[in-house]
Amino acid sequence: KGWVVGRAAGVPVVLSPGWLVAAVVLTAFFFPTARQLLPESGAVGLAGAIALALAAVLMLFGSTFLHELAHAAVARRKGMTVRQIVLTLLGGHTEFAESAPGPGSSALVAVAGPATNIVIGLLAFGAWKILPVSGALAALLFVAALTNGFVGVFNLLPGLPLDGGRVLESAVWTATGRRSTGTTVAAWAGHVVALGVVAWVLVPAFLAGTSPGLTQVVWGAMIAGFLWTGAVQARQGAKLDVA
């Protein structure tokens, strides 16, 4: 559920209520860094820092939209019907009317999104290194490079519901001839990735003898919970597919 804010090649683009929550939280998260980059005092400096933090968040969600648009474009070329693109609390998803016709098509649709982020990240990094920019613009380019690179690589981790999980599912599907088997394997791998996220958040701080930050714990828990729930749903779907 959400608000239709436009259409991309005829496909509705929907903002979920969770997107607004994420926009506010991430703006607050980026604000201290923006304040350091724009140290002017008074209302002008405060307004500038808020605008810079908000611009970084909007740029992040713009990259998410392009990620989902790439999924939709490749899916259409493979004969699939795209129902909608939804931007959510933890990113977004593209909804299809039917499953991919084969493992090759499924893998290509899955890879299209992360590949788009990686390309954007490389272009932003190149611009940040080459162009004579500084201050807010340099910060935005660096944030674009960092966030797109992270989103692209993270989504390629081999576990459902991530895009890399679809690639693993397709590989097992090809090897066994059964999509349900591929889904089950990739879903269990998704549980491993979810536990890995928890370890990534907690273990370094504990080894250093400190406590992880509250924001880090909250976002880590949300992402791990999303991955765990998605993996459970995938396994349930695989059982129905067998039945």
* Tokens found for residue 230: 């998605």
Instruction: Cis check for the bond before 212: say yes or no (omega within 30 of 0).
Output: no
Could you give phi then psi for residue 213, rounded to 5 degrees?
-65, 155
User: By the 8 A CB rule, do 158 and 190 touch?
Assistant: no
Q: How far is CA 60 from the centre of its chain?
A: 9
Burial class (CB in 10 A: 0-12, 13-18, 19+), 7: exposed
Which is catalytic among the residues 68, 95, 98, 169?
Answer: 68
Look up 95 and say whether it is catalytic: no
- Residues with active-site annotation: 68
